[in-house]
Structure 1
Amino acid sequence: MTPLTNTAEVLDLLDRTPLTDVPPLCIAVGPWRLRLLCQPPLRDDLAEYFAETLAGDGPSDATVEVLEGQTLDPAPIWRDWRREAGKTGRKDATWDLTDGRLIHKRRTGMTFLQSPRALIAFGPCRANPQQIINFINTQILNHGQRAGWQMCHAAAVTNGPCGLAIAGLSGGGKSTSILRMLDIPGTAFVTNDRLLVRAADRGTKGLGIPKQPRINPGTILHNSRLHPLLSKARRAELAAMPPADLWALEEKHDLIVPRIYGPGRVRHDCALTDFWVLNWQHDSPAPATVRDVSLPDRPDLLAAIMKAPGPFYQDAQGRFRADTDSLDPAAYLAALDGVRVREVAGRVDFDTLYRAGVDFLAPG
């Protein structure tokens, strides 16, 4: 077996002719534009998902191609990508080329070519639309990081003059918190899980990605606005569960923001003025508090904000990261200099957090 060595050899194994007559979808976020080539019916689903960011055809920074059902023969000898601390199981595997990288999803069988010459998703694409969405959004994040933005593991909202980001450990309540903030009049959704930040002439800029929230049943159960996402019978089942079991339940549901909150409630760019880090616990005897902290003095909170780019990121010089590479805390501190950082501690209490958000984000 001769291993694949470069992008050209990969392209020789793929049939791209199904995309020849497919009209592109153009996605615009911040200063970047992407073209997406994908066959129906998946193309139609993606057009609906990215409706808030679709733009007319024109010059683009990159083109993403989606090839249904195709595989590599021969397949590379995959190398598992080491997961972040606290994560278990095999997820991503890679094969490095001289001019790119192949990334394989162990659980779904999807494969991605990440190369300056081509960006291609192939495999059981229709069965895994979320991985196509993630691949598209990854390209936006890659463009941002090459331009000097830092990627944060955070959700965010804005009321226009102010922007609030909320970070925390995975499963700590970012999505639930940010959706509660959308109940405040005048707010707009910026991002759910990934936020780009950089220092600007006047403060810090934030830029989100068009990734709609994927929420757990507990988030739906405790927000009456979201109840239509579940049947009445399912809500009753969830309400009967012990709170700890409900919190730990992994059962993701897609929430399309304009459907629930109405038009005009999505804005991916913002002036970032405040950053809250969730450091609360369900079993804490102390009430929830929101208090100012100095981020340079709290490396534990900074660690919750920082997010590694993962196996898809290729820098401006063409270098890919290794799974052993570390992030630069100084770059994050510089980007967030001047942003007010607050720690949310004590017992998990979304009502207290909402009231703090009203004081900060409500008109007047």
Structure 2
Amino acid sequence: MTTTLPTLAHLLAPILASTPAPHRLEVTFDDVTVAVSSNSQALIDTLAHYFRDFAGGGGATVVPVVAIEAAPPELDLPFAVQEREGGKSLKEAYAELPDGRVVRKLKTGLVFAFGHGENYAVGPCLQNDNQVVNFINNRFIELRLKRGALLFHAAGIAEAGQGLVLSGFSGAGKSTLALEIMRHGTDFVSNDRIMVARGDSGRLTMTGVAKMPRVNPGTVLNNPNLASVMGEADRKRFSALPQAALWDLEHKYDAFIDDCFGPGRFTLSCAMAGLVVLRWKRDASPMTASRVDLRRRRDLMAAFMKDVGLFYEFEDPSEASLASQDSYLDLLGDLPVLEIDGGVDFHQAAMACLDFLRDIRR
């Protein structure tokens, strides 16, 4: 027997009818304004504080998001669990509807529903505001990708309007390196996702995501600009641990760029001057930095190619979720690429990245 699945509007109608959402917030990422409505002023205040560098409207494109603070909703849908690579713990289940997708966070019960321009978050939003932040940012990512950009698993920094994309496999220290480079006066572009597109002029543009870097205790202890994010008790506790133990800690802090480096240092979009790929490892070998040709080093491409994930709505079910290596190579063209190998040394790597960027700009 075939079950007829509801539309988004029908599925959420009882919740939306009984829960007005009069509180408003507008944030603008480049030319896209996300207009958030909620039944919770506390949630709006939390999001306004988080996105304070991007407050206000005026974007050419407006994306509505409705966030309802409530108990985890019980939805009678045929959810499938999203498998993860490498045996990682399962985080999400999803169900496809005729006009969109519903994603349920397995741990928190928070539900996200989106499709055809409608975007909803329903459940314990305030307790899990980081997931709502990610949902808002994913709406912006989707728009950029639908306009032709490719998604990179990378951080980014910029100097004098010219940016570097800093890529590497998960845990390589992309964010830590970006924040180390920031100590030398650069701007911050993105923490973990970057969209790259080629404009009408033929120049590459890199666009980041309005998400603050989440840093581990080792990163904080080794970067004086981050001192304010860690309390004295944590500082004493973590300072007593060996460096190897600090690297693997799951404890994270949000590092707000304006608090740590001063106002006006978060630049969401700029020209892309080069790409850095981290291949280093935690050993005593010397760090090395050398330019490479990606067409001869396709083995490096897995470090930055990124699947669009569950929060991307395909207009055509036959669309591939991950662009091909050739697509990335065609986009990047003859862009300068720097490979950093050998042992981990964030200070030396920061200097190598700055030298690389400044050499390109000459």
State TM-score, norm by structure 2: 0.92
Alignment coverage as a number of residue pairs = 357
Taking structure 1 as reference, are residues 74 and 110 closer, same or farther at Cα in structure 2, changes over 3 Å only? closer
8 Å contact kept, 1:102–1:112 = yes
Amino acid of the structure 2 residue aligned with 1:279: R
Residue 44 of structure 2: aligned partner: 43
User: Does residue 147 of the first structure (1) align with residue 162 of the second (2)?
Assistant: no
* Higher relative contact order, structure no. (Cα contacts within 8 Å, ≥ 6 residues apart): 1
2:255 aligned partner: 255
3-state secondary structure, aligned to 2:275: strand
1:65 maps to amino acid: V
In 2, Cα distance between the equivalents of 1:34 and 1:248?
Answer: 35
Tell me the CA shift for residue 37 of structure 1.
1.0
Distance 1:274 1:67 in 2: 41
Q: Gaps spanning 5+ residues in structure 2: where?
A: none
Any residues of structure 2 matched to 1:307-322 within 5 Å, and which? 307-315=306-314, 317=315, 319=317
The amino acid across from 2:307 in the alignment is: A
SS at match of 2:266: coil
Query: d(CA) in 1 for partners of 2:52 and 2:336?
Result: 33
In structure 2, which of residues 346, 353, 356 is the aligned counterpart of residue 350 of structure 1? 346
Partner Cα distance (2:269, 2:19) in 1: 35
Tell me if the contact between 2:79 and 2:95 (Cα under 8 Å) persists in the aligned partners.
Answer: yes
CA contact (8 A) 2:32 2:60 kept: no
1:356 shift after superposition: 1.5
Structure 2 Cα separation of the partners of residues 74 and 193 of structure 1: 32
What are the superposed Cα offsets for residues 60-94 of structure 1, whole Å, 9 maximum, x if unpaired?
Answer: 432011001154444323201121x3251111110
Q: How far does the alpha carbon of each residue in 1:274-322 deviate from its partner, in whole angstroms, 9 at most, with x for none? A: 1111110012x4200111111122222111111111011113x354878
Instruction: Report if the CA contact (8 A) 2:280-2:343 is conserved.
Output: yes
Name the SS of the counterpart of 1:295 in structure 2. Answer: coil
Preserved contact between residue 311 and residue 320 of structure 1 (Cα < 8 Å): no
User: Cα distance, 1:234 vs. partner?
Assistant: 2.0
Equivalent positions of 1:175-254 (< 5 A) are 175-185=175-185, 187-200=186-199, 201-254=201-254
1:5: how far off?
3.0
RMSD between aligned residues = 2.2
Asked if the contact 1:314/1:320 (under 8 Å) is kept, the reply is no
1:1-364 alignment, distance < 5 Å: 4-15=5-16, 18-22=19-23, 24-38=24-38, 39-56=40-57, 60-83=61-84, 85-185=85-185, 187-200=186-199, 201-283=201-283, 285-315=284-314, 317=315, 319=317, 325-360=321-356
Matches of 1:105 and 1:321 in 2, distance apart?
Answer: 25
Distance 2:347 2:6 in 1: 55
Q: Shift of residue 217 of structure 1?
A: 0.8
Q: Is 2:306–2:322's contact at 8 Å kept on the other side of the alignment?
A: no
CA distance in 1, matches of 2:110, 2:33: 24
CA distance in structure 1 between the partners assigned to 2:340 and 2:234 by the alignment: 31
Q: How much identity, in percent, do the aligned residues show?
A: 33
Query: Are 2:274 and 2:357, in contact at CA under 8 Å, matched by a contact in 1?
Result: no
5+ unaligned residues in a row in structure 1: which ranges?
none
The question of whether the paired residues in 2 share the 8 Å contact of 1:313 and 1:320 is answered with no
Asked if structure 2 preserves the Cα contact closer than 8 Å seen for 1:25 and 1:57, the reply is no
Greater CA drift, 201-210 or 127-136: 201-210
Letter in 2 for 1:172: A
3-state SS of 1:156 partner? strand
